Amino acid sequence: MIDWGLFNVGSLLLGLVAWIIPVINLVRYKNNDYRNWGVLAVISISACAISLYFQIVYHYHLVDIEDWSALMDTSGAVVRVGGVLLIVTLLLNAITAILCRDRSAK
């Protein structure tokens, strides 16, 4: 059997990975080490996407077992937190891309 609660834990961990990787990129930028920033940005955005997918799968499970009260209680928070995850991930990776692209062009 699948432990459906692990989708929430996995989503949280992947969301943290999606934020930590661009921060590492920015720290490496300050040390003049901006190799592989593109690959790390793709990994970060992929972690964000998988994290959001885990939430979709978990909500599908709640619909499948017809746990309407859990859906009504958590849907609003999932939408808000998912939006914050997506926006912050994209902003961090955009900042990294702008800084590293300009530095590697010189």
Closest CA to 45 of 94, 7, 80, 102: 94
State pLDDT tens for residues 67-101.
999 999 999 999 999 999 999 999 999 999 998 87
Question: What domain count does the chain have?
Answer: 1
State pLDDT tens for residues 32-66.
766 788 899 999 999 999 999 999 999 999 999 99
Has residue 103 got a pLDDT over 70?
no
Has residue 105 got a pLDDT over 80?
no
Domain interval for residue 73 = 5-105
pTM: 0.89
Q: What angle do CA 10, 57, 88 make, to 5 degrees?
A: 55
Is the distance from CB of 14 to CB of 51 less than 8 angstroms? Answer: yes
